[in-house]
Amino acid sequence: MQGAAAQHRCSTPCRLAALACAVTIGLGTALATAASAAPAGTSVGLRTGPLHTDGTRIVDEYGRTILMHGVNNVDKGGSGGQARELVVSGDGFTITPRDAELLAGYGFNAVRLGVSFAGLMPERGRIDHAYIGRVVGMVDMLAAHGIRTLLDNHQDGLSPVWGGNGFPPWSIEARPPPGEPNPGFPLYYLMPSMNVGWDEVWNNDHEVLDRLGDALGALAGAVRGHDGAMGIELLNEPWPGTSAPTCFPVGCPGFDGRYQAALESLTAAVRARNPDIPVYWEPNVTWNQLMPSKLGTERPITDTGIVFAPHDYCVPSQTSIYLGQSTELASLCPAQQDHTWANIDAFTARTGLPTVVTEFGDGDPAVLGNTLRNADERFAGWFYWHYSSTRGADYTEPDPFAAAHAPGQPSIGRHLVRTYPQATAGTPVTMDFDIESGAFSYTYEPGARAQEPGPAARR
């Protein structure tokens, strides 16, 4: 006990299937799953409903504190110039109902689903309603399995113009000149021509931000009334363009002031079509190089329903994965990721906003514990990067949560599949899960038992 806090403890033998257990005081619930368990045959997720923010908490229509553990499923439209239709369930990449059963059986209650400006508006001014319809269908399918969806406006490398994805070619005038080397992800962000392209975005040249707002507004309007839609993330890993050098070594309040204005404009476009949906703001991507976010420093963040959406990657892990560097520096990851979480703490203290880590891991189980430990300590939700369909038409892929990553290393699922309270009628205090024993402890200050949805859900 801690003051009036109630404590719940449960242990899960390593071969038990996933099961749901109720926290004994209040309406808080905990999903108890074994770290190496096979999924249950039926989904055990909670009913989805509208969410909103309350200080640093994300709450449901009953005022319960909601915690999200999820995965990313981001369709970038193929590679090597082989474009394909985006977000098609059963295409071997996008989540299927069988995938949703697998995820819910393991206790995941959220998916960050990638959407694309290029998919939403393939030509200037023309919304692709068929694409949006497929996205809405995914939201509803996942909701039927108790899984909420965060809609992530994804980009990497700005546009297919540079071998990336996100912004359609018609929206950007900059082009790489003949002979400009393109080193690929992630170093292509250093290309001078791409930086000119990013400057077009932040300057709203050719009304590119306005058109992006139109596209996101159309998406927001389409999911209005679909309770499985937990929010819209305005832009994945935005690069500052030619202002990037000013972000080192202590962050860039000048650029972040301009970036905040862009986020405010896009938020207004979303809220014009869907007034109550939470909107997720990412820091500029120099955050991933340990730079703090300066959002909210030049002027306060006054929009309501905003969620901070940072990523938590370890630089040595990333350079090993993408640049072939040695993994010997991975021992620095705990200290580096603790620095990232110190930046999150500073942002929370300044803004009073809730945090959900929308990417981490990237297939490296050696760094997962760093994120999960810090997230548990702060009761922060998360989305693991990445899950591609393993239950498509041919069902040929192994269960990614059961298979060992490498000899002598625990599976990814041993870290990610864990006991946690999905909804708590009260205020969380402490939470701890031991992946070795399955022991789980949770303390929270009970709140009043809600009898009906609160005002935010009745609007």
Q: Which residues are catalytic?
A: 237, 359
How distant is the alpha carbon of residue 121 from its chain centre?
22
Tokens of 293: 């976010």
Contact 209, 170 (CB under 8 A): no
Tokens of 17: 């299937």
Residue 328: which residues within 8 A CB-CB, separation 6 or more?
none
Tokens of 362: 């990237």
CA-based max dimension of the chain: 68
Tokens of 27: 């309406």
How far apart (Å, rounded) are the C-alpha atoms in residues 50 and 337?
32
CA nearest to 194, candidates 211, 173, 212: 173
In this structure, the chain runs to a length of: 459
Count of CB atoms within 10 A of residue 407's CB? 5
How far apart (Å, rounded) are the C-alpha atoms in residues 133 and 85?
13
> Read out DSSP for 155-201?
-BSSSGGGT-BSS-GGG----PPTT-----TTGGGG-HHHHHHHHHH
Q: Please give the DSSP secondary-structure letter assigned to residue 243.
A: G
Starting at the edge strand that comes first in sequence, how are the strands of the sheet with 440-446 ordered?
A: 6-10, 440-446, 426-433
Contact 210, 204 (CB under 8 A): yes
Q: How would you label 322-335 residue by residue, b for 16+ Cβ within 10 Å and e otherwise?
A: eeeeeeeebeebee
Q: Which residue's structure tokens are 């640093």?
A: 56
How far apart (Å, rounded) are the C-alpha atoms in residues 117 and 165?
9
